[in-house]
Amino acid sequence: MASMGTHHILCDTEATPKRPCALLWDESLLWGLMAWRALKEAGLPFDLLRSEDIRQGALSRYRMIFIPGGWASNRIGTLGGQGREEIRRFVAAGGGYLGICGGAGMATENGLDLLPIQRKPSPERVPSFNGPIRLSCAEHAIWRNVQTPVFYAWWPSQFQITDLNVRVLARYEEAHVDAFSSDINVAAGGIIGWSDLEQRYGILLDPARLRGEPAVVEGRFGRGRVILSLVHFDTPGDGSGAVVLRNLWDDLASSSPSDPPAGVGVERGVAIPDVPQKVLESVAEIQAAVAELIVAGARNFLWYWRNPLLLLWRRGVRGLEYSTLAVMIGEIGRCLHSPGTSSADGLSALTGSFNSSRLEDDLKEIREELIPFCERAKRLLVRERFYMMTAPLSPVECTDAEISRLRQELFGSAMSYGGRFKRLINQVDRLLYHLIQGE
């Protein structure tokens, strides 16, 4: 079982009571916003932290750290060696670690090495499952008051566990009929035949391959506890997921009367004055460009909105990136249209000191990157749509030279974010973080 030396143990005699949870924002993007919304809905206390905060020792003020979904490799790179070591020290000293999806993958042997777990090689996974799936759950406090153990999995990895000290808290059972594997509905896949579909797509698709596989696990690292989940309890609007999140806070964060009450600690400061009309016009222009891009994809039968946060896209296009851009830009708009008060969905609030000049500069920077990105992306989507009419399209490789060129420019060569999209979404992410924090 993994452990660390006593020289890494943090002091427990701090004058300030520890706060319940730190949510790591960096490189979480859509998944970080999803987690933020879900925790707000559940009324749970937490603070947003960035990698720089962690490197400066901020974890000493908390009982647990929550790492949401996102590319584990990108987040590990942003944390740097010092940030990774700070997390390991924090957990070894008795802190709790909750990792969901990408945050779970980050805790495995090839990441932070908190638990002796590996991820299955890509060819052995069902890489594109997305939607509701039933779990079979072991006796544990996190399942308290869960009536029906059906939760959402969004393109999960799969664990490879050989160490008996890692306890499996839940395993996958049958997929819900509303779930998909890639862009194939589970019910439709059963009618067509998963074997034929797997040959056509060149990847494993049959959700039955997930049955019995570990979905939620628990283990120890030093004095700390680690819970890793491949299902998203942090899916907004999921009542059962909210129940599990509250149980996790009780179990890992072990609240006490000295803690701030639930829901306090995310926004800071006081309500700002009205947002200038020039800023609102700039936001409207940005939102219109993104909306037009999403409509272009729908017009070409490449995707549709399956819920308020995620598109369902055809295999071969980069649907997650477009979902991420649209949802994060939409949240910026909600923040700025409802300063100092809750937005229409009851989630966003813009508070704190208001720097109109900096906001205008940030929006100008985003616009200058976003407008050409959207124009090139619309060209790419049209070409991808017509390519699909004659041959299957891979999200990574394509024999069409213009498709390959546009993909390289917009997204880079890897499935993790790159190219123009990476520059753009980093700007969007930075502004949204400041708006949520009220900075």
Q: Per-residue DSSP letters for 116-171?
A: SEEEPPGGGS-TTEEEEEEEEE-S-GGGTT-SS-EEEEES---EEE--TTSEEEEE
Domains observed in the chain: 6-253 (3.40.50.880), 277-437 (no CATH)
Give the up-direction half-sphere exposure of residue 189: CA atoms within 13 A in the CB hemisphere. Answer: 25
CA distance 52 to 83: 8
Distance CA 6, CA 13 (A): 16
What was the pLDDT predicted at 12?
Answer: 43
Tokens 């960096």 correspond to what residue? Answer: 26
Helix (H, G, I), strand (E, B) or coil at 415: coil
The answer, as to whether pTM is greater than 0.75, is yes
What pLDDT, on the 0 to 100 scale, is given for residue 16? 63
pLDDT at 339: 54
Write down the pLDDT at residue 274.
Answer: 72
What is the reported pLDDT for 268? Answer: 41
Kindly give the parts of the chain with pLDDT less than 70.
Answer: 1-16, 255-273, 338-354, 439
**Contact (Cβ atoms closer than 8 angstroms) between residue 436 and residue 266:** yes
Report the distance separating Cα 267 and Cα 285, nearest Å. Answer: 27
pLDDT at 10: 41
